[in-house]
Chain A
């Protein structure tokens, strides 16, 4: 079912030269390759249809869309017939109506009028009504409702149900699963009247291969596949276009609202990033926004061992401000700081860093990108000149070779993964560099040409070996490099990578990857001609994270794979606004637009606009704040929308630091783990409750629009503003658009951005300024942002985190499709139906050696700590490697990760931890302590002990 008020054009658009034809006497010009159906719809002469929808290729099965074409025999289907110059088409005639009525009556024999729970939005019933059909002459007399054998309704999926008896077997759902999502979970089984839609081998949807993206539900023209929320809610009164708050794809969604509550979320077909698609999180998992766990009243307490007291906004804000003032008076100006959030809007993030710099008068501000993509900023800035990905997502459709490094797009960026898989099905080559056999390595109609299954921590050795092959086999683009890169750095780098120490044969022992595979992958990447690299946290969250990002940029420059569509270096950002939070000046050394605080002219511009003197000395990063807290020189923090106690590594170290603070102010929608150490709790708002913008992984700035009123009464930006005013630094914005105007005035790459322009264009990719008034889809065209590209020598330095006889396995971490980050949102939705706990993946050989069986509880011990998880035996991980996710606080995944970090940015090395795994009968000591402590919420009471033996 389409989004409210959506006008479906029947078939996808085309891109040929315009041709002119006549439809029902009206002159129409459309690109060659356009179907008659689409051309007619564009001219507001919609042809009736059932099996067609504009997100899917034409199918031509329903026989409802027949038209007449002058000079042609018969009645061609308008969906499968392309326009031609001078063509004259009739969409309405007595003959056409008679045929359509006949066909519709046959459909109605299977799907009687009024049988849909939401008949007003059933395309068949709507069409039949338009053709004056009340009931069918063809309904079987003994079984008036069903000619075929009825089946039970499948309610297994938590978000939608499948009623086979309402299905007209148009195959739109099957094609959506194939073409849009690329999962191939649905099929038509049976023949003739017994044909029916089946998930996998006729299994309930929940138990099938279905990933619950919802594409089939949206494609269904009847109520056969229908959201359960639609069954209970009435028709929507309004529809609001906004931007998803989950991963860095930044899907444009349409929220339908019934009686003040969201009744359905539908991906916008106008969304440039998602192109009409969404995933199980964005489309369905929005219920957290109104979960009973939401904190909606401000809370304060003197000590973290005290009970919380509910207070007014004024009391909470004034208490926080007076505490921060007291601490600064006692310990100095730099004894406090703030953390911005990648889950909040650009405007909110900008405001928090402004508060820290202008009201706190320090640069002690940082953001959660510290622990994910800070090496991306460092590595790309130094090599090519800008701290951002180079492409837009649609660029992948021009790629001939795709290299995915340290990312699992189908799990963490599923909507982009569907676009990528579409290109792979068309024949693009695929290289996967990952310790784990991610789903992309082999799935329906997709198989990697090369899977470089390296040992965790050896990325840089691999990238150097790939470069070695490309350089020594003469596969570089000398002309491109000569024109666009620094000569000296190029020569130095070539000499470095040519050294036999970097050959695939030499690094085989280090990486565990056969030299032949590396050589083959290098040749494939160099051959292109369009080769694109997509990477994730498996690149950045290492002690050599920044080095690896530089290595990736080196490889792309050396092969001429930057500066046009189909190529590039694209970091897949984990959270919805990681790019934006970095852009907005959240790092302690940079103002918005990545300009160092020590730059007098830049700082002067901010001082003039903000009417305050600013520090030119960079502040503390998050890990440094913890260190400073433990040495007693850092005493107060304002954290907006982050859960450091769960998301940051070496939890014991983090919580010791948080416990030492004299004032910790948390602003969040839930009582998170960090709130256990807080003195003031300021209720936050979800993305549904405010206006603003998010910037996705392709630098696309999209609007977030208020769908429902804030549950706590104030949007996050309003709370920050009040805190600033209480601290004595006045802020007086009345709408986030004014904050964006200030960002644009102070940030050259945002100079041309405004809400009016975003609304007009739909979205804007920065840089957007006089040189690029409507934004920049592809960066570094013609020349790099820094001028000449610079190659950096990237020597491989093994991490200090090594296996030993005591810790013989390497643990690496990642995400799963149905859950998101620390799970604060998705754990409070029905997504737990797919993933209700974090599990430890272990290879069968390692399990057998330890007497561990599938489903056992196992103790995982590292040099930093220990925890207990349930084990999953799988060959997705190699021998010697174990893997887990970090979505549930009771799993304590970060109790075992260490505080090793990237040399340049302090991004933690989440991806490499030496561990031992043994079978256990009870939870870890910390889990027992946690169980005994006051729970943050009823859900948090669960521990492995409570579920053992179930």
Chain B
């Protein structure tokens, strides 16, 4: 998957939930959205990007969301 594109998508989702859920709850809202709508390859790729590339380009909310996503269910 094109990680640059996934990063942009994650940041767009975070932009929405920053306003809707508030900064504190936004990461969980973004994580939930990714877990419901992103296929496993996309989730794996963004987690890998966070874990191996430092999550470059991710906004604070998006980064926090991917960290949550990486945690075992």
Contacts and interface: CB of A to CB of B under 8 A. Distances in A.
Interface in A627-652: 627-628, 630-631, 633
B16 A903 contact: yes
Interface stretch (B38-46, B50-58, B64-72): B38-46
A589 interface: yes
A526 B36 CA distance: 36
Given A618-B36, A624-B39, A903-B13, A631 B1 contact: yes
Given A627-B1, A904-B16, A620 B41 contact: yes
A797 interface: yes
A631 B41 CA distance: 11
Nearest to A543: B12
Interface core residue of B5, B13, B18, B20 (most chain A CB under 10 Å): B20
A596 interface: yes
A903 to B, nearest CB: 4
Given A589-B36, A619-B39, A903-B9, A797 B2 contact: no
A557 to B, nearest CB: 16
B27 to A, nearest CB: 15
A746 interface: no
Given A793-B19, A797-B15, A899 B5 contact: yes
Contact of B16 (A334, A628, A631, A795): A795
B33 A793 contact: no
Nearest to A799: B12
A617 B12 contact: no
B19 A596 contact: no
Interface string A789-814: 00011110100100000000000000
Interface size class of A (residues with CB under 8 A): 20 to 34
B16 A547 contact: yes
A630 to B, nearest CB: 7
Contacts of B60: none
Interface size class of B (residues with CB under 8 A): 20 to 34
Contacts of B18: 795
B25 to A, nearest CB: 12
Contacts of A450: none
Nearest to A544: B16
A795 B19 contact: yes
A631 B19 contact: no
A569 B2 CA distance: 36
Given A588-B39, A589-B37, A496 B5 contact: no
A800 B1 contact: no
Nearest to B20: A793
Contact of B2 (A334, A631, A633): A631
Secondary structure of the B contact surface, majority rule: helix
Contacts of B1: 624, 627-628, 631
A794 B12 CA distance: 13
Contacts of A800: 8
Contact of B37 (A334, A793, A794, A904): A904
Nearest to A597: B36
A169 B66 CA distance: 73
Interface string A870-908: 000000000000000000000000000001010111100
B28 to A, nearest CB: 16
A618 B37 contact: yes
Nearest to B21: A793
Contacts of A334: 39-41
Contacts of A792: 20
Nearest to B13: A903
A627 B36 contact: no
B13 A904 contact: yes
A620 B39 contact: yes
A539 to B, nearest CB: 16
A777 B33 CA distance: 32
A183 to B, nearest CB: 42
Interface core residue of B16, B19, B38 (most chain A CB under 10 Å): B16
Contacts of B16: 546-547, 795, 797, 903-904
B23 to A, nearest CB: 12
A4 B25 CA distance: 64
Interface in A153-210: none
Contacts of A899: 5
Contacts of B9: 901, 903, 906
A904 B36 contact: no
Contacts of A628: 1, 41
8 closest cross-chain pairs (CB), A and B: A795-B19, A903-B12, A793-B20, A620-B39, A797-B15, A793-B19, A627-B1, A903-B13
25 contacts: A364-B39, A543-B12, A588-B39, A598-B36, A617-B39, A617-B40, A618-B36, A619-B39, A620-B41, A621-B39, A624-B39, A628-B1, A628-B41, A631-B1, A631-B2, A793-B20, A795-B16, A797-B12, A797-B15, A797-B16, A800-B8, A903-B9, A903-B13, A904-B16, A904-B33
Interface of A: 334, 364, 496, 543, 546-547, 588-589, 596, 598, 617-621, 624, 627-628, 630-631, 633, 792-795, 797, 800, 899, 901, 903-906
